[in-house]
Amino acid sequence: MVGTIAGMSVLITGGGSGIGEATARYFVAGGARVTICGRRAHKIDAVVADLGSACLGVVGDVTNHDDRERILSAAIQHGGDKLDLLVNNAANIYRGAIETLVEPELVDLFTTNVIAPMLLTGLASAALGVSKGCVVFLGSVHTQRAFPGVAAYAATKGAVESLTGVLAAELGPRGIRVGCVRPGAVLTEINERAGVATTETAADYLQRLASSHALGRVGTGSEVAEAIEYLALAQWTTGAVLTVDGGLGLGVTNIAPRANGEEGELYE
């Protein structure tokens, strides 16, 4: 890699929690000027209060055209009249069997996870072309390994990963690099809520998630941020989907001996 994130102007969507928040903290610590956006004002305000003047918070919805323009304008101004990196992180998820999905949920999911980042990238392309900057999308291990009950979410992330290659080819002649990070299970608010929504406690759910990774643990937002940093600085890398999943996508089944000496599956 060449260069440093110090002095970079960065826009992170969905920056009030989870991977977005962790990425904002990581880049601010590295000397970048970061703008985060999200729909929940209390979340955005809390992150900004903690990070100080290097981080600007904009409350807005990336699915709304006027909000996208307002967010982008604020990020460029905050970053010193430039934009070096756009991190398309904001996303939603619906879980449920295919027969339970309804059209409004699907429209909302594809609007948030696919259409909004496409349109925001288009808006940001002029500024990114000037800075010879980078766009990073957030994919998912769900595109690599099939898990029941998340068909709609997996489909949106498959679209995002396909989009990465197409936009790398389209924007490359303008000096704009495009990449995608494909995380495994990360310790975020969404994953904590998923356990509570079932008969499991959040702790039990997270432990079961951990056992499904080859490395035996879930990831952290800062570990995903490290991969985003790599794509932001790697000047001859574009169109890449970088898997950062602790081995979850390998489909490893952890085996432990039973009391009678036979082998039994802990998780599949």
pLDDT tens for 90-143 read 999 888 899 999 999 999 999 999 999 999 999 999 999 999 999 999 999 888
How far apart are the C-alpha atoms of 164 and 118, rounded to whole Å? 10
The residue whose two tokens read 């430039």 is 82
Beta bridge partners of 263: 257
pLDDT at position 95 is 86
Beta bridge partners of 134: 85, 177
Residue 255: helix, strand or coil by DSSP?
strand
pLDDT at position 256 is 40
What is the pTM (predicted TM-score) of this model? 0.88
Active-site entry in 153, 205, 230, 267: 153
Compare 205 and 4 and report the one with higher pLDDT: 4
pLDDT-based confidence at residue 1 (cuts at 50, 70, 90): low
Segment 25-78, tens digit of pLDDT:
999 999 999 999 999 999 999 999 999 999 999 999 999 999 999 999 999 999
How far apart are the C-alpha atoms of 97 and 90, rounded to whole Å? 23
Segment 193-221, tens digit of pLDDT:
544 445 567 677 777 778 888 888 888 99
Q: Catalytic: 267?
A: no
Enclosing H/E stretch for 106: helix 103-110
Residues above pLDDT 90, as percent of the chain? 71
Kindly tell me if the per-residue pLDDT of 79 is higher than 50. Answer: yes
CB within 8 Å of 58: residues ≥ 6 apart: 35, 36, 37, 44, 70, 71, 74, 75
How far apart are the C-alpha atoms of 116 and 159, rounded to whole Å? 12
Selection from 66, 27, 69, 61 nearest residue 47 by Cα: 27
CATH architecture of the domain 9-184+219-244 equals: 3-Layer(aba) Sandwich (3.40)
pLDDT at position 263 is 38
